[in-house]
Amino acid sequence: MTKKNILHIATEEFSKYGYDAVSMNKLAAKLEVNKATIYYHFKDKKSLYQEVIVSLMQKNRQKEYDILNSNLTPKEKFFEIINVTISEFKDSPEIIPIILREMANKGSNLENIIIEKEIAEYLDILSKIILQLNLKEKYKDADISIIHSLILGTLTTYFCMQMSSIGDNLLKDFGKNKNNVLNYSGDFISNILFDALCIN
């Protein structure tokens, strides 16, 4: 059993049941291994969970830097950085319930190093891209975490509403196709934010 396999199954389990409901015993049973196999790779449940979070956050970090350092126009960079988040959700939809649980729990299961390093690193990239835009005067000092929250909040909330029965007969019908939902909401939030922040 490789570390990669453990991370993959652990990501699915934390996504489905949340941090508190996943035990190392249940995880070992799901993996069909002895608990010692998991402990060989991870000190405890907390360290396993942190690595799940870090692996999800770092998955497209190089793409984010590539966009920042590319020859794209500032507008193209802004749209592309949001598209990276959409791609993450398409490739790893498990991240959405994990994000929502952590937001609801005020990040209580996250180590400070994740907040200080991983989240801060992403916000730094996003900030550098946004500062390249022709911003309206009143948004030149905007808190980057608000912009990030608007992006993340819109995508996750709309996705969950569409994919659950809540959206039935109330929202635009995408037939619960996750790609179509994410493409639509991504295009919407990209354009709304760009129009709100920038001078045309």
CA 75, 80, 83, 85 torsion-angle sign: negative
pLDDT of 73 = 97
Look up the pTM and report it: 0.88
pLDDT at 166 over 80: no
**Tens digit of each residue's pLDDT (9 = 90 or more) over 51-84:** 999 999 899 999 999 999 999 999 999 999 999 9
**Tens digit of each residue's pLDDT (9 = 90 or more) over 81-134:** 999 999 999 999 899 999 999 888 888 888 887 878 888 999 999 999 999 999
Which residues contact residue 183 at a Cβ distance below 8 angstroms, ignoring those fewer than 6 apart? Answer: 86
What's the DSSP call for residue 118? I
Measured distance CA(27)–CA(22) in Å, rounded: 7
